[in-house]
Structure 1
Amino acid sequence: MNLVFEHVTLGQRIIFGTGAAAENLATEVGRLEKNRVMVIAAPSQAALAREVTRGIPVAVHHSDVAQHVPFANAREARAIAGRNDIDLLVCIGGGSTTGLAKAIALTTGLPIVALPTTYSGSEATNVWGLTESGRKTTGIDNKVLPVSVIYDAALTFSLPVKLSIASGLNGIAHCVDSMWAPRTDPINQTLAVEGIRALSAGLTTIKNDPSDVLGREQALYGAYLSAVAFASAGSGLHHKICHVLGGAYNMPHAETHAVLLPHVLAFNAPAAPEATARIVRAFETSTATAGLASLYARLDAPRALKEYGFREESVPGAAELIMGAVPKSNPRTVTETELRNLLFAAYSGTVPTA
């Protein structure tokens, strides 16, 4: 078959090195010639943020971070940036922290330097999200893409093993969704295969030995690849489901992605044989669902939405909301009944089969 596709690679500077975050950040701020920095970090990361930013000109430390980026939080953070004549945003944390920096950049155009402490991958995408009145709105804008990302495995040691696993599985969900998302192409599918391999190996190592630096480096590397693939390919069915559940039911981001992934993979895999074959090669197993199931067993991964506050009676309403967001490019036709069945299985923790 002839290759016919259009691919966009986002421009971004990546600096990778364990134990070098403070030094690399100071170098980047100097290179960008900025002198009024707004540092964004959740209260749990405050001490880490002050240590890492000791060598840069910080004008404001901001810690009002919440998951799914409530619009009220974004509005206040934008106002603070304006009052303090901020010329650079530095975010230190996971997806919620990066998301708040993106919300500020969306309206101000301020550049972002991101220092991830999880495997969410938000730092490598131009996707933003805001939540208001129980609805999560997402969009794409190159203004929100961090100009630089500083990866340092030492910054992830404060992340508990269970949350590391959920966060890394969110990265694998980026990879799987990239196989059949609206703008998928052979380049981001190839990145996704390597992302699955790196994340699977890295997460397994973290589970067995949380102090292993090499495992955490592999997980960060895989998270970056997964995000680059996702940024190019766009949001598939998996992410549309999770965005609805996050916005409407305030579900925890990483755990929701981890729980839903096996169900969406089992649903779509039979209808996308070429993409599924790539996933099989990444897992080096007989089937894609078997590969993912084996990984979940090794990691003792999150299994059921009911364990994270989702209620069974919410399934019909959630399915109705999701139907309005299903990508037309999904390899399998989706009905509301099938969505209900998928959500019921995810709610209860039933092991899916293709």
Structure 2
Amino acid sequence: MTVVDTSRVRAPGERGSDFAKLSRRIAQAGLLDKRPGYYTARIGLVAGLFAGSWALFAAIGDSWWQVPVAVLLAVAFAQVTLLAHDLAHGQISRSRRTSRMAGLLVGNLAVGLSYGWWMDKHTRHHANPNHEDHDPDVSPEVLVWSENQAAGAGRVAKIIGRWQAFLFFPLLTLEGLNLKVASFRALRRESLKNRRVEGLLLVAHNLAYLGAVFLVLSPGKALVFLAVHLAGYGVYLGCTFAPNHKGMPVLTAEDELDFLRRQVLTSRNVRGGRLVTTALGGLNYQIEHHLFPSMPTANLRKAQPIVSDYCRSIGVDYAECGLFASWGQALRHLHEVGRPLRAGSRRSQDW
């Protein structure tokens, strides 16, 4: 694990803390203000892409030309999911009730993703990013993210973890299906709010989704369409979220960091201009997003120079690189932490 600076540990709400000083600068610049015009335009464009993809699907009919439509629809589903992400963080509306209602429609009904389950999971990630005990995104169920996890890995993680860097992208093709399955499994939790509504919307989505595909396409083409669409959806989301934290320091209970350092030192920004920002839904400004989760996506770019300059002024590392470089760092990290598993496998074979 990379050693991180713990010399300035203060509570995030303390008036003189490093985060409090940065937060005042951001607030004075007006970057926490809502952006209704931006979100009106973005919602319109994403809704047009989503509806247009389904209209194209209906127009083409029973044809193998539906394969590229499946890819286009995967992009549309991912962009809708990124909007659900912004709703969950309160970036679009100040009203929690409005955000939740819109999130259920956008998440559960439109793309078949449990909004309540994902919001709970993502909130825990934000509270403890890259913490091997508390961040569900680095849970060692299939992949291992640290040498500590490799030492205590279960059977499946031990097998996959040996070559997980090479298996990472192939495994992402299953993530779209995994999200749907996990959404239904979450309905068994009594802690999930509005379980009945969530369940009804998930069932409605899947009946409409599968019904449309098998009504228009022959069984063989329908199965190929579903495979391509869900695989593309999973890879898109994986390539959106993986560059942000994978390959950055993994924290343990021994790491006592203040709020600012906990968020900045475990996050990575991705360069690339407006095209990358559009493709990643603004999550390429991951450091700014983690520091100010409710900040509208359109303001993250403006906050970036303020945050980066401030981090440099107080001696906090601020990680930033290109998209492909970020994937490379993530894969090298996965390969490195899998080394003990490969070594253990060779010892077993020698024995």
Which interval holds the TM-score relative to the shorter structure?
A: under 0.3
- More RCO (CA 8 Å, sep 6+): 2
Larger radius of gyration: 2
Q: Which structure: greater strand fraction?
A: 1
